[in-house]
Structure 1
Amino acid sequence: MNKAITEGLVLMPTPFARGLDVWSSGNGTPGSDTYEDVANAAFVAADQDFGGALEMLKTENTQKLRYMGETPLLPGCYLRIRTRVKAISGNLPSVRIAGYAARANGSLVADVPAFAPFVTLTTYGEVVEISAIVGTGNRAGVDMVWGTEPVYGHFGIDLVGANGGIVRVDDVEIEDVTSVFLRDMLGQVDVVDFGAVGDGTTDDSAAFDAANAAANGRTVYVPAGTYRLNSSVTIDTNVRFEGTVTMPDSAVLLLRRNFDLPNYIEAFEDEELAFRKAFQALLNNADHETLDLGGRKVNVTGPIDMQATVPGQDSYATRRVIRNGQLEAASSAAWDTQVVSSQATYNPNNNKRLTNVTNIANVPVGALVEGNGVGREVFVRSKNVATGQIELSAPLYDAAGTQNFTFRRFRYMLDFSGFGQLSKFVLADIEFQCNNRCSALMLALSGTAFQVRDCFITRPADRGITSIGGGCQGMLIDRCQFLSAEDALPVSQRKTIGFNANANDVKLRDNRATRFRHFGLLGGANSIITGNHFFQGDEVNNGVRSAGIILANTHVSSIFSGNYVDNCFLEWTNEQDPAPAFNSEYSFSALSVTDNIFLSGEVAPWFSYIVVKPHGAGHFLSGVSITGNRFRSLNGVIDRAERVDTTFADLDLSRCKNVVFTENSFHAVTYQVETPAKVEFFQNTASDTWTIDLADYLPFGGEALKVESVLAQGALRNANNVRVWETPYADVAVGGDRDQIRLNWSGPVRGRVQVSVRMDSR
């Protein structure tokens, strides 16, 4: 490329033959002395080597010769200044190319080299070529690196050394030699041409900014080297990295045209650092809503504090997406779980707080809380060291008083817990390859609509997705696979949990999970759980099974439909009931369990697929619909598909209302229950009271609270075998377990009836 041609630059100085009034004996600036009509210089018209030449007598320690014309300098342009000289007589001087670097206002740019290396003349009459290259970039072969501040120069030569010598100087030539350095400048601009040094310490931010400004659609080229950028840099056009950049944590590199992880890896070389800086740019960029990982695998050596990558931002609510790649946990001690023990006091009247916490400074935010009366998936949401208080993600079920608690801080590949609020954030088509070294995701303290879709959470060490606060509000987990690291362990030895949520409105759809301790715990309400397949069996004959999904609230107002519940069960508990003393409130209510597949094999007879586990007395079922499900046990018969776990309390079955348990199918299940229960009863001896036992027919050991109908199947006959036409009245909740009804007749009769009995009163 020749900028003298492409940009119309005038580079060549005036020949000496046209007059010496434009040749200065000073710096070449306007008003400086010239060589016209001076005693120590003259134009020689017919030199045998040069033709016309300037003959000079050296009278000063540094005898200057400068062209007073303003030779322009542009970023990316390299000029060669050259001339030929010969010694005529007297002392032999040294000669060098020199120049005056000027700003637009003519002032001197003092911190750039003013001359090139000198050449010493050794023989009279010998023609010696003197040359040097001047340019903006620090390239091999550039003698005078001037950067981008000078906009023009006054060029010529210096005579140095002993005075008294006479030399002749041929016409000075200045030519564009850019093509020597850049073979193809038409499609790109080089940051070096704008002053970038690339030594790893010099701040090259301004040079990058200047290159970006000059690119005008061309590619910005970053040649080999290490470029320190102390401030944020934005590149608006395509950029190509052969060298790498380094930046402080607070500085942002925004590649607007090349915004994807592969280009950040090219920029930073280190994959993990590149991911951090790309995420930083994602949250500091209005032009892109998606960070494409480009199918790359990032080797992660320790937990990535996502908020720490964007200093000063702890809240973000604009939709952002990270997609299409793999994050893999490398072997590192940075993944080790932090374990702290502390004594603390719990008051159920302030049910999400621990007080008087000893050693609180060492208790990490985000730690799992363990202790007597602590339910599953309770985490440290925040702490106040000054007051000795810890805020919890959920209440404790039976921990009133003072005791020792254990706090376990698992390490997460992507940890968003530093964000006070993060909404509308999406992770898509990513595999989190945890390698049984770390957990995958920890959510922000608050926020809405966090989505994980089409992802693999593979072999997490402790947790797949953890919420320690309200960052799970409206969370969507769609079409993901949760693959356990504990496949080979029996259920009783597993500890890993796929996910948890504390807030409402979670959507869990079309996922697959293998052999966790629990697939997930939902502590909020209004959840939709559809189309998932989760299995948790093992090879232990008559082995125990753990809950697949745990609903940890009473009034769940949720739908559980179309799932494949394989060798595990749906557990409904109130261990995270937000009200003190587990007040009944709406109680266990508003749950629809429809059209699911429940399957088990080699389980103990007492295993059940739907388990209600109340804490505190007085709870009951209300507005519960369990319909259209398929219950099947393989290689062994189980007693019931449903049951109440009375470890802590029983249900008050006398208060149940609006419970529907119908149209389910049972295979290898002894007690095939329903409500309303339709039971055929035969009384073979005449009696005026018939007692009908519903214990084997009503779900959850329910009480016989309402008789909907009684219909004789054939004729009723009295003791004389005479047909009678009679309608009985019914007594409900008869017997010690209140699971019988009594039909009362006006006289002794016998026969067969069909009764429809409900376990609720309305």
Structure 2
Amino acid sequence: MNKAITDGIVFMPPQFANGLDVWSSGDGTPGTPTYDGSGSGAFVPADADFGGCLEILKVNTIQQLRYMGQTPLLPGCYLQIKARVKAVSGPLPQVRIAGWAGGAGDTHVSGLVEQGPATQLTAYGLVHEITAIVGTGQRPGVDMPWGMSALYGHFGLDIEGANGAVVRVDDIEITDVTDVFLRDMISLVDVRDFGAVGDGVTDDSAAFEAADQAANGRRVYVPEGVYYLGQDVGLDSEVDFEGTVIMPDDRMLLLTKNFDLPTYITAFGDEALAFKKAFQALLNNVDHESLDLCGRKISVSAPIDMQAAVPNRTSYSTRRVIRNGQFDVKDSTAWDTQTFTSTASYDPADPYRLTNVANVANIPVGALVQGSGVGREIYVRSKNEGAGEITLNAPIHDAAGTQTYTFVDFKYLLDFSGFSALQKFGMEDIEFQCNGRSSGIRLAPGGNTFVLKNCFVSRPKDRGITSIGTGCQGMLIDGCQFLSSEEALDVPDRSSIALNANANDVKLRHNRAVRFHHFAVLGGDNNLVLGNHFFQGDSVPNGVRNAGLVMIGTYNSSAIAENYIDNCFVEWTNERDAAPDYASGFSFSAMSITDNIFYSSDVAAWFSYIVIRPYGSGHFLNGLTVTGNKFRTANGTIDRVDRVDTSFAGLDPDRFVNVTFANNTYHNVTIKTANPLRVNHEQNSAAQAWLVDSGGALPFGGQARGCDSVVAVSALKSSLGAVRYAAPYVQLQQGGAEDQVQLRWPESLSGQVTVVMRVER
């Protein structure tokens, strides 16, 4: 590039032969004295070495020579000022190229280097060539870097030393030498050409912005160095980083053309910091809906506070996605779990609040709450330090009064809990490699439709995905794998949980979870659990098993369908009812469990696949469908597939309604549960009353409260062998468990009948 050629700009000053009235003995500005008739300078028309030249008698401390014309200084343009000089008589002086920097309004720009290197003249008549380069950028070889404030210069010489020296100066040349600084690829715009310093201290924000504006389709080049950006910087051009940038936490680098993690890593030189800055840009109008990690692995040595990375946002509601990469947790004490204890009071009438909390300031938001009456996955959603109160994500039961609580703060690889709400946020095709040191993701306390798709949550220490509030509303977990760090432990020794949710409308679809304490603890209604495979067994003979799915809430209109439920069970409970006794409402109702594969091996005979665990008296089944499932156990048999856990309370079988338990298959299951239940009864000796036993096959301890039909499948005979055509009436709820019916005939008869009984009237 040469501006004299491409743009027709004239840099060369006139020859001395054209007159000395444009050559100043001052700084070159208008009104300064010239060498025309000054007595200290004269034109010499025929010097042996120079031809025409200017002869100067040094009479000032610094004898100046400046061209009074304004030589323009353009961004990205570098000028070389050159002069040949020789001493004629008097003391031998030093000579250097010098200039005066002019800015807007023809004002002097102070603080700049306005002299080149000095050359000592060593002999009379010896010609010395004096040069210096001036330009906007602070680059190697530039003697006078003037930045963007200087618009032009008055250039010439300074003669220094003792007065009385006589020096002759050949015509001064000013030429464009920008091509010396150009890289091989001329499509690059160097930020140094626009004043960037790269010393890690000077704020280079304006230089970056100016380079971007000048690029006009070319790439911006950031050469080696450390560039401090003290302001928000948005670059619409593609950027090549050889140097790195540093910024305050609350300042943003918005790379709109090459918005991807590798570019940010190159820019910041640190993977975790680069991810934070890229996420910051993603939530601040970088004109991209997603951040592509481009398959990069991010080494992480401490929890990433996602809200702290974006300090200007406390909530966000526009769809954003992070995809295609891996987070790799490195060993560090920053992952160590913190535990706090504190006394607090609980009133079931205010079920989401702990009051009079001692040392509430020490208790972290997002900590797991433990204590008497505290159910599973109860977390600190928020706190009010002034009032000494903690808001919980869900109520607790049987905890009225004051007690000591334990608060366990797990450390998460990605922690969104600092946001008040996060809407429509997704992560796709990412592996969260927790390495048994960290938990995976902690959600914001509010928001909806968080999405995790085609991801691996590998070896989380305590939790895979944790919801501490309602940020799980409508959460979608699709095609993910949850791989436990406790796989080698026996079932009773495991404590990790793949995920939990508190709000409604969660969709868990086509996921795989391996050997957690629980796969999912779901506290909301209307959930869809479809096509997942979760298995939790061990090799202990007659071993115990934990729940794979924990469904919390009496009215729970969730569908659990087409899953492979392997060496674990589905537990339905109301452990989050602050006042658990049934008073009104639907009680346990509306759930459907259909077309699943239930499998177990080496389990105790009392193991069951579907367990209801009531808290409080008076609860009953008021709508449950269990159809089309395959129940199988290997290496032994189990008694039955359904069970009521009466650790805290039982169900009232006298109130069961709308229960369908049908069209299932059973292998190595002793009692094959059904409702309606079809029983074949054979009466060998004639009797007027036949007691037909359900054999315990009515679901969940149900009673024989209804009878749909009694059909004779053989001849009914009297005690003398005569065939009778008679119909009985049915007495329901017979026997100690009230799970039998009694058929009353008009006379003593024998024979065989099929009875269809059920738990509802």
Same fold (TM over 0.5): yes
Verify the 8 A CA contact 1:443 1:465 in the aligned structure 2: yes
SS at match of 2:27: coil
Distance 1:415 1:582, change over 3 A: farther
Structure 2: which 5+ residue stretches go unaligned?
none
Verify the 8 A CA contact 2:580 2:617 in the aligned structure 1: no
1:34 aligned partner, one-letter code: T
Identity, % of aligned pairs? 60
SS at match of 1:307: coil
Query: What are the residue-to-residue correspondences of 1:348-363 with 2, within 5 Å?
Result: 348-363=348-363
Query: What are the residue-to-residue correspondences of 1:3-152 with 2, within 5 Å?
Result: 3-152=3-152
Determine whether 1:248 maps to 2:248.
yes
**Paired position in structure 1 for 2:302:** 302
Bigger shift: 709-718 or 275-284? 709-718
- CA deviations on 1:335-385 (whole Å, 9 max, x unpaired) are 010101111111111111111111222111111111111111111111112
Bigger shift: 540-549 or 162-171? 162-171
Verify the 8 A CA contact 1:323 1:429 in the aligned structure 2: yes
**Paired position in structure 2 for 1:436:** 436
- State the shift of 1:700 in Å: 1.3
Distance 1:69 1:13 in 2: 8
Verify the 8 A CA contact 2:346 2:402 in the aligned structure 1: yes
- State the shift of 1:519 in Å: 0.6
Query: What are the residue-to-residue correspondences of 1:659-698 with 2, within 5 Å?
Result: 659-698=659-698
**Paired position in structure 2 for 1:645:** 645
**Paired position in structure 2 for 1:408:** 408
Distance 1:582 1:267, change over 3 A: farther
- CA deviations on 1:636-673 (whole Å, 9 max, x unpaired) are 01000111111111111111111100000000000011
Distance 2:667 2:350 in 1: 47
Bigger shift: 80-89 or 731-740? 731-740
Query: What are the residue-to-residue correspondences of 1:611-630 with 2, within 5 Å?
Result: 611-630=611-630
SS at match of 1:671: coil
Query: What are the residue-to-residue correspondences of 1:148-163 with 2, within 5 Å?
Result: 148-163=148-163
SS at match of 1:661: strand
- CA deviations on 1:473-527 (whole Å, 9 max, x unpaired) are 0001111000011111100000111000000000000000100011110000100
Query: What are the residue-to-residue correspondences of 1:247-266 with 2, within 5 Å?
Result: 247-266=247-266
- CA deviations on 1:509-556 (whole Å, 9 max, x unpaired) are 000010001111000010000010000000100010000010011111
Query: What are the residue-to-residue correspondences of 1:312-711 with 2, within 5 Å?
Result: 312-577=312-577, 581=581, 583=583, 585-711=585-711
1:363 aligned partner, one-letter code: I
**Paired position in structure 1 for 2:273:** 273
- State the shift of 1:438 in Å: 0.7
SS at match of 1:757: strand
- CA deviations on 1:231-252 (whole Å, 9 max, x unpaired) are 1111111101111010000000
**Matched residues, number:** 761
TM-score by length of 2: 0.98
Distance 1:415 1:157 in 2: 63
- CA deviations on 1:381-420 (whole Å, 9 max, x unpaired) are 1111222211111111222222111110000000000000
**Paired position in structure 2 for 1:173:** 173
- CA deviations on 1:728-755 (whole Å, 9 max, x unpaired) are 2212112221111122222222221111
Determine whether 1:233 maps to 2:229.
no
Verify the 8 A CA contact 1:348 1:580 in the aligned structure 2: no
SS at match of 1:274: helix
**Paired position in structure 2 for 1:760:** 760
Distance 2:581 2:197 in 1: 69
Bigger shift: 52-61 or 235-244? 52-61
Structure 1: which 5+ residue stretches go unaligned?
none
Distance 2:624 2:440 in 1: 35
- State the shift of 1:583 in Å: 4.2
Bigger shift: 128-137 or 36-45? 36-45
- State the shift of 1:147 in Å: 0.8
SS at match of 2:556: strand
Bigger shift: 73-82 or 474-483? 73-82
- State the shift of 1:697 in Å: 2.3
SS at match of 2:737: coil
Distance 2:499 2:55 in 1: 89
2:249 aligned partner, one-letter code: D
Verify the 8 A CA contact 2:581 2:618 in the aligned structure 1: no
- State the shift of 1:684 in Å: 2.0
Distance 1:391 1:567 in 2: 36
Distance 2:640 2:584 in 1: 26
Distance 1:8 1:727, change over 3 A: farther
Distance 1:478 1:401 in 2: 42
Verify the 8 A CA contact 1:582 1:615 in the aligned structure 2: no
Verify the 8 A CA contact 1:261 1:278 in the aligned structure 2: yes
- CA deviations on 1:705-739 (whole Å, 9 max, x unpaired) are 11111111132222332222222221211222111
Verify the 8 A CA contact 2:397 2:579 in the aligned structure 1: no
Distance 1:8 1:248 in 2: 43
Distance 1:457 1:739 in 2: 47
Verify the 8 A CA contact 1:40 1:56 in the aligned structure 2: yes
Q: CA RMSD in A?
A: 1.3
Distance 1:178 1:184 in 2: 13
